[in-house]
Amino acid sequence: MVGTLTADRAQARVTSAVGLLRRRHWLPFTVGYVVALIVVAVIYARVRPDVQSRILADTSTNLQNLEHGRVGTLLSSAFVIGDTDATITNVPLLACLLILVELRFGALRAVGTFLAGHIGATLLVAVGLWVGIAMHWLPASIGASEDVGISYGGMALFGSLIVIVPKARRIPWALVWLVIAVKGVVDIRDFTSVGHLLSYLIGLGIGTFVIARGRDAEYRMSWFDLVPLVASSALAVSFLLD
């Protein structure tokens, strides 16, 4: 009887995973965003260094651009990584994270969570920098620092994965990653590490809201999630501690 129940559960998990793949076969957010990142990375790698510098300056969500009303950088910055080695390493790992989130939650929620983390953390960091410069705690030059990449949105998506973690492990899971994020802030001591902490908290808040609404049962983790979850964790570590 036990063996029969175990086989039935395994079959149910396989059926659930296959159902997810069928319902969200095209993965529009994952495919579209990854292709866009690759195209931009190829173009960036092929242009002259002075053009690369201009691209970074024009797409950066630094305080200088935001103060001049260049709000378009809140979106354009998410498509520029600016480091070939980081692109080669992080884009495949990001694809795993995107696949996991989009399969579980759908494209709209994945996009919404990504933007909430990317834009929300960017604006919170910008406010902090503005206050720091105004109070002369930080040098004015920090307002022109380059600030592009996928990490804020990626950390928000990662934080939202609290939904698929088994109930008994949610608090330890959330606390472990919170400690890692805080360690990154303490060790690195730059505004980007603060942004990673904030974006993780934004994603964690979104995931907690889903749990509070009692919707978490439909997103239960399956064996299909393990490989992309490990890849996603590796990506989160690279963001938080590098």
- pLDDT at residue 14 above 60? no
Report pLDDT for 222. 82
Report pLDDT for 25. 64
Q: What is the pLDDT of residues 92-101, one digit of tens each?
A: 999 999 999 9
Q: Shortest CA distance to 233 belongs to which of 154, 167, 170? A: 154
Distances from the Cα of 17 to the Cαs of 13, 87, 100, 167, in angstroms? Answer: 6, 29, 11, 20
Distances from the Cα of 136 to the Cαs of 80, 133, 140, 192, in angstroms? Answer: 31, 5, 8, 19
Distances from the Cα of 195 to the Cαs of 103, 148, 180, in angstroms? Answer: 26, 12, 13
Residue located via tokens 């029969």: 4
Contact 97, 34 (CB under 8 A): no
Q: What is the pTM of this model?
A: 0.88
Q: Give every CB contact of residue 17 below 8 A, 6+ residues apart in sequence.
A: 222, 223, 224
Contact 29, 111 (CB under 8 A): yes
Sign (positive/negative) of CA torsion 90, 96, 101, 107?
positive
Contact 100, 226 (CB under 8 A): no
Long-range CB pairs of 56-62, under 8 A, 24+ apart, other chains included: 56/80, 56/82, 56/146, 56/148, 57/146, 59/148, 60/145, 60/146, 60/147, 60/148, 61/122, 61/126, 61/147, 61/148, 62/143, 62/144, 62/145, 62/146, 62/147
> What's the burial of 129, exposed, middle or buried (CB within 10 Å: 0-12/13-18/19+)?
buried
Q: What is the pLDDT of residues 27-76, one digit of tens each?
A: 999 999 999 999 999 999 999 999 999 999 999 999 999 999 999 999 99
Report pLDDT for 8. 46
Q: Shortest CA distance to 220 belongs to which of 172, 171, 170? A: 170
Contact 152, 79 (CB under 8 A): no
Q: Shortest CA distance to 113 belongs to which of 101, 96, 95? A: 101
Q: What is the pLDDT of residues 72-123, one digit of tens each?
A: 999 999 999 988 888 899 999 999 999 999 999 999 999 999 999 999 999 9
4-8, 47-51, 149-153, 229-233, range with the lowest pLDDT: 4-8
Mean pLDDT on 169-173 = 95
- pLDDT at residue 173 above 90? yes
Q: Shortest CA distance to 206 belongs to which of 109, 119, 97? A: 109
Distances from the Cα of 140 to the Cαs of 64, 158, 242, in angstroms? Answer: 10, 32, 25
How many Å apart are CA 225 and CA 4, to the nearest integer?
24
- pLDDT at residue 214 above 90? no
